[in-house]
Structure 1
């Protein structure tokens, strides 16, 4: 039968009588198959581009909307310098204000604890804040008062809790500095500056009041004593003047005057000693109270180091404060002594505050010296101070006894004075004693006032807060960039995970990484068919409808045709030890391109000058006859039931040296026919007439026909489709063929598209990324 596709005459091709000895290639699994490099990540990410895009959109849109919806937040910071926290200097003879509990270097963490936990400090600041309705800078309403009103009545406690819980944050200004930054946050820039300054000033005032506490107590004591002695002096003057007016006495004798003066001086000295004794007794009582408190604090330090107990203490403190607040709300104008239950609650609140504060100090001091060691040193210092004070008290009492003896002796001398002079002498003695005592106490009072005014506290503001010109947040560009970064990162992770879990084969490397030989890679021809044939499935040639996928027949100069020629070369030299005369082409599943591959391979082998027979052995779903525009019958089935010798005239010839045997009519038992003795005899007849016989067999996993035929073939190829065939399907097909001893020469990757290998584009672009083969389709120079 004449061929409708005539090719120019070719010189005869010498057919080798003996095999060419070529070293058989060895396929080794890539040792880096388990690794993922940058190229593969790019490849997997672009293959999963919709996952990446979806994840990016899922994160970017809500993040952008939330960021844009958030109001601007402003922060203002006031800086406080914390210096040594020592008590005031002693202003009375023999007294000392040194306290070993606070004599050490300032502990900034303790001060920060006070700033963040002391509700009394917060209420002091809240009292100042509540004097404003709008911030002085922008005249905008204060948000803290509006937020406090939303949760109930606006009280010092509610505003103070908001200050500490939401608006104010404190931290150290640096590792090697003794400064604290008080930062206020608000949606109103003026309010942020106001709150930071008010809170910092409240802390400084509390610190100053704490530092002046000891000196103020001394001043108040001296004021009481001065007032008492002044009243005593006035009474003594009045008594002397009244007596002299009443009796007409003028003055005492010189000797008596000296005696009265001495007695008055002694009385003044003993009064001063009495005052000092009272002061020393008060000091001893205070030291004993400090010792008791320190011992309790040492016990609490051990107890409150437990996080659970500390949390329980804070919970109880909140409940106690809530009960006290309810009493204050119900009795806003209450005066007089507190009810017993409220007084107990107040004492319990003080105990809980001390316990929580000591727990914070213990946590802060744990990095430097163990809390137990610090407490022991403090107690030892307090006991030494108590011992010194008691010794001083004993000395004062001895001094008073000595003064009293002198006074008794001089009083004996005074008794010898005449009666009228004795009375006047006693009155003047009392006046002289009162004058000396008053003058001494008045001098000490002035010293105490000077000491109190000179005590400026251990904290001062070195930089007030200013109205911030720009918002501190939200950082919208950063949030959006972060959302994009996270979206891309998670998207790539999801895409890589999905692709890594995807068992489909996409690239030639995927097959080689499984350890299988790759004999050919056929590119996807849909784009070429669309370009050359308008996307038609069949092309009319000389009155026959030919499948557009027969590229080697319709467009021999295309790149796809060149890949089939490369497949022909791989097949020819796949078994150097044997002449390949029969080839079985199969696939794991239907629809993977085995028939197209077999047909194009038959065409390129025929174009090399060898006589080729293409047999459609897929008796269940035959397609070869449609690809060449031929009739299905007569075919292989008819030939199996016909014992006549075969000739070339019994076959269709669509091209030079290419002959086709369709499947024929439907057969009820394809496997029995293909495995019969008649089929083996027919194979021998085919080999006598043709150089190469190619069988298009059914899929391996769909039927056993391919496995039966493979035992009679010189070579078997398994065709897989890129993006469709899974690795375990290929493995199952290879295992089925190997179990019967089939001579599997390798795998053909069909339908490969360069877009499936972005990270490896440079590797495949030249062979599979062009429309025409080398030397064709180029412009002439």
Structure 2
């Protein structure tokens, strides 16, 4: 199998995460870099002095007496033992005594003993001892705010270590020589040919060698002396800034991932299809939401965007359940403000231009908007007809479409919602409304029902059974995904098939991995920031004919 699609998916997800949270990541990185620069500017520069000691194997001291002895330890082992010698408290005490009553870096107002102990503690904190790889060398490093003093302290620690270790080892040789002298004094004085004489001579040779070692032994020597450093070892502003930028970037990505993990909104079209398990057959940009009827009252670039999206939506309708009719289409949403009226109007206009006899009905009897979008009177309308107050010819509005010949096939007819009623659901569940849908089926090729939101009110549930297709409008990056799931489940309780989604509020980053195929030029479409409504322009209305029954009484003239 080819791993490239999965790798590409991972890169797309990462890019989407960065794009959605770019300001959070930038802010986190800037805070980290700013904090590092602030700390660097306020920190006291620290200089480092390095001195090196060379520790030798004890067998090398014995060889100074003329007796060849094979080494008993490796150089690294000798150096490791020397590290403990340097870190002994006795060495630090001897260094402190060299400065007398005024050790550096300690307040003079403290008692002498306290000053000395404070200096020893500070020197221990700023002292580091390490073994040079594959050698008998031990590096002594001291950090101090003064470069000259850092080198001086490193040298003095090395010197005091040499003096202390050498004096202790020489005293050990001297003590062992004294023990041999006592043994010699206890032996009888006999001739050299006797056993006692041979033992006495051997002990005298050993004592002579020990006495020589007590003056010649050099277990440690100063290999190199520390020199004042030209540049401080800390702080390093450039290094800290780069490191802080990396840490800030990673922290920003972590915060972005946590934000996405706890964010319940649908982030893009791919996420919408994954969550709802429904096909998405249309995409409407955020700039198209809330505009007047595209290509009828709104001729701006936003209107062209909505018209293009409506054409794509109309073409894609035929690919959803191809064996089933798509004559009556319900356009709804889970909540208000998700662009369902824009989708319904764009679909109706696109179908009319394509030559279909199209009827757009505003079935949202609670908050009607279609009449306002098309610039027509809202009364009389659907509610008036269902209440038997008017005839069909009184409620239909024929819309003149620009650049469309009056004698051309198709056309667009709109039925507004009409006056408000106390219980809209009762009207929509009535037998008169079912008969009304049956009659308009005979007169029109496509009937678009702009309904009320699905979850807040029960009006739409009466329309789903009489329809052939349901379009669920989903506002991307705005509504909680639980709302979408609840709306889908409510629709599936009414019908199993004939449900598709339309993604609204789309921006370029919301299009998902496959892209928003309904857009022609991203720079052209996303370059408009004015989302206000276009200035309304009056269009000619032609009332329907008042005579005839059946399909002809619902047809435009």
Partner of 2:453: 699
| Residue pair 2:51, 2:158 contacting (<8 A) in 1 also | yes
| Residue pair 2:46, 2:143 contacting (<8 A) in 1 also | yes
Structure 1 position 555 matched with structure 2 position 299: yes
Instruction: Quote the Cα distance in structure 2 between the aligned partners of 1:669 and 1:216.
Output: 115
Paired positions, count: 497
Partner of 2:400: 655
Residue of structure 2 aligned with 1:769, choices 522, 525, 542: 522
Shift of 1:667: 0.9
| Residue pair 2:385, 2:391 contacting (<8 A) in 1 also | no
Instruction: Quote the Cα distance in structure 1 between the aligned partners of 2:500 and 2:306.
Output: 19
SS of the aligned residue for 1:613 comes to strand
Partner of 2:463: 709
Structure 1 position 170 matched with structure 2 position 170: no
Q: For residues 693-720 of structure 1, give each alpha carbon's deviation from its aligned partner in whole angstroms, at most 9, with x where no partner exists.
A: 1111111111111111010001111111
Residue of structure 2 aligned with 1:613, choices 354, 359, 364: 359
Partner of 1:489: 250
| Residue pair 1:552, 1:600 contacting (<8 A) in 2 also | no
| Residue pair 1:78, 1:463 contacting (<8 A) in 2 also | yes
Partner of 2:552: none
Structure 1 position 278 matched with structure 2 position 182: yes
Alpha carbons of structure 1 residues 581 and 609: separation in structure 2 relative to 1, 3 Å: same
Instruction: Quote the Cα distance in structure 2 between the aligned partners of 1:718 and 1:520.
Output: 10
Shift of 1:185: 0.7
SS of the aligned residue for 2:222 comes to strand
Structure 1 position 735 matched with structure 2 position 489: yes
Partner of 1:114: 85
Structure 1 position 507 matched with structure 2 position 268: yes
Instruction: Quote the Cα distance in structure 2 between the aligned partners of 1:697 and 1:746.
Output: 16
Instruction: Quote the Cα distance in structure 1 between the aligned partners of 2:14 and 2:80.
Output: 49
SS of the aligned residue for 2:154 comes to helix
Shift of 1:167: 2.8
Shift of 1:33: 9.4
| Residue pair 2:129, 2:140 contacting (<8 A) in 1 also | yes
Shift of 1:149: 4.2
Shift of 1:497: 2.3
| Residue pair 1:614, 1:658 contacting (<8 A) in 2 also | yes
Partner of 1:582: 328
| Residue pair 1:516, 1:746 contacting (<8 A) in 2 also | yes
SS of the aligned residue for 1:771 comes to helix
| Residue pair 1:710, 1:743 contacting (<8 A) in 2 also | no
Q: For residues 453-489 of structure 1, give each alpha carbon's deviation from its aligned partner in whole angstroms, at most 9, with x where no partner exists.
A: 4x14111011111111111111111111111111111
Shift of 1:46: 1.9
TM-score (normalised: structure 1): 0.58
Shift of 1:54: 3.2
Partner of 2:228: 467
Instruction: Quote the Cα distance in structure 1 between the aligned partners of 2:339 and 2:122.
Output: 75
Q: For residues 647-701 of structure 1, give each alpha carbon's deviation from its aligned partner in whole angstroms, at most 9, with x where no partner exists.
A: 4x64112225111111111111111110111110111121222222111111111
Alignment of 1:212-291 (within 5 A): 212-217=170-175, 278-280=182-184
The structure with the greater share of residues assigned to helix is: 1
Shift of 1:62: 2.3
Instruction: Quote the Cα distance in structure 1 between the aligned partners of 2:442 and 2:208.
Output: 136
Instruction: Quote the Cα distance in structure 1 between the aligned partners of 2:7 and 2:464.
Output: 33
Shift of 1:603: 0.9
Shift of 1:575: 3.2
Alpha carbons of structure 1 residues 682 and 451: separation in structure 2 relative to 1, 3 Å: closer
Instruction: Quote the Cα distance in structure 1 between the aligned partners of 2:180 and 2:317.
Output: 119
| Residue pair 1:80, 1:179 contacting (<8 A) in 2 also | yes
Instruction: Quote the Cα distance in structure 2 between the aligned partners of 1:475 and 1:574.
Output: 64
Q: For residues 92-128 of structure 1, give each alpha carbon's deviation from its aligned partner in whole angstroms, at most 9, with x where no partner exists.
A: 9xxx9x9xxx965553333212221x22221112222
Shift of 1:69: 0.7
Instruction: Quote the Cα distance in structure 2 between the aligned partners of 1:666 and 1:559.
Output: 32
Partner of 1:200: 158
Residue of structure 2 aligned with 1:145, choices 79, 100, 104: 104
Instruction: Quote the Cα distance in structure 1 between the aligned partners of 2:29 and 2:424.
Output: 54
Instruction: Quote the Cα distance in structure 2 between the aligned partners of 1:742 and 1:156.
Output: 87
Alpha carbons of structure 1 residues 671 and 210: separation in structure 2 relative to 1, 3 Å: same
Runs of 5+ consecutive residues of structure 1 not aligned to the other structure: 1-30, 134-143, 222-274, 282-392, 404-442, 530-536, 538-546, 774-781
TM-score (normalised: structure 2): 0.79
Instruction: Quote the Cα distance in structure 1 between the aligned partners of 2:209 and 2:326.
Output: 122
Structure 1 position 519 matched with structure 2 position 281: yes
SS of the aligned residue for 2:141 comes to strand
Instruction: Quote the Cα distance in structure 2 between the aligned partners of 1:760 and 1:158.
Output: 67
SS of the aligned residue for 2:466 comes to coil
Runs of 5+ consecutive residues of structure 2 not aligned to the other structure: 195-204, 402-410, 527-557
Instruction: Quote the Cα distance in structure 1 between the aligned partners of 2:61 and 2:479.
Output: 89
Alpha carbons of structure 1 residues 156 and 210: separation in structure 2 relative to 1, 3 Å: farther
Instruction: Quote the Cα distance in structure 2 between the aligned partners of 1:483 and 1:592.
Output: 42
Partner of 1:70: 43
Alpha carbons of structure 1 residues 524 and 506: separation in structure 2 relative to 1, 3 Å: same
Q: CA RMSD in A?
A: 3.7
SS of the aligned residue for 2:489 comes to helix
| Residue pair 1:129, 1:195 contacting (<8 A) in 2 also | no
